[in-house]
Amino acid sequence: MAGVIDISFESNIREWTASMVAFERQQLPFATAKALTDVARLDVKPAIERQIDAVFVKPVEFTRRGVAYRPANKSGLASKVLIMNVQQSYLEIEEYGGVRTPKKRALAMPAGQKVNAYGNLPRGTVQRLLARRDTFSGRVNGHGGIWQRTRKGLKLLVAWRDQASYSPRFGFYETARAAAELHFPRRFDAALSQALASAR
């Protein structure tokens, strides 16, 4: 895989400091840290959650809960938005694309079965199908899978595959950068105004 799914935001505030007096500059670390944290928490994190809703069909709440943020502070002027480890384990390939290979013998690919929000078989589907009397796992005419015996012949329910290819579609980084660039200026102005008011 290409790597973890996270993004950090730092601020080049020189353009704001040129005309400031010394008193105002003293408040910059606090204001910058607050602005970066607010952008991560109030703008980027919700934007990623909305992107999940837009890209995936009926995503489970667990996936949304995987979007997290790390605040900035005066000594570390960078905030971060990230996907937690468990959710990242299946969203990573949706961000970067690639080929998924089976952890065990083969991938179970749906063939007429209902799928979940990510196009995969719901948990327990294979075990449930194999527990039926009218099904078996094997190869028919060179095609491996779970087959059902019907009056009209054999019907493929689940296909065994050696790998599955995915194209990038999540858009985590593009969404995060766009939200940060759009909202940071007003977040910084608000945070600086608050810092100056509280310091007087």
Predicted confidence at residue 170, as pLDDT, reads 93
Q: What's the token pair of residue 67?
A: 């979007």
Whether 99 has a pLDDT exceeding 90, the answer reads no
Query: Any idea where the domains of the chain sit in the sequence?
Result: 6-98+166-199, 104-161
pTM score, two decimals? 0.71
Residue with tokens 């949706």: 94
Question: Per-residue DSSP letters for 16-65?
Answer: HHTT--HHHHHTHHHHHHHHHHHIIIIIIHHHHHHHHHHHSSS--HHHHT
Neighbouring residues of 25: CB distance < 8 A, sequence distance ≥ 6:
17
- 21-78: pLDDT as tens digits: 666 777 888 899 999 999 999 999 999 999 999 988 778 889 999 999 999 998 888 9
Task: Kindly indicate the confidence band of residue 12, based on its pLDDT and cuts at 50, 70 and 90.
Answer: low
Predicted confidence at residue 40, as pLDDT, reads 96
- 145-169: pLDDT as tens digits: 888 899 898 988 888 776 667 788 8
Predicted confidence at residue 101, as pLDDT, reads 67
Give, for 160, the enclosing helix (H) or strand (E).
Answer: strand 153-161
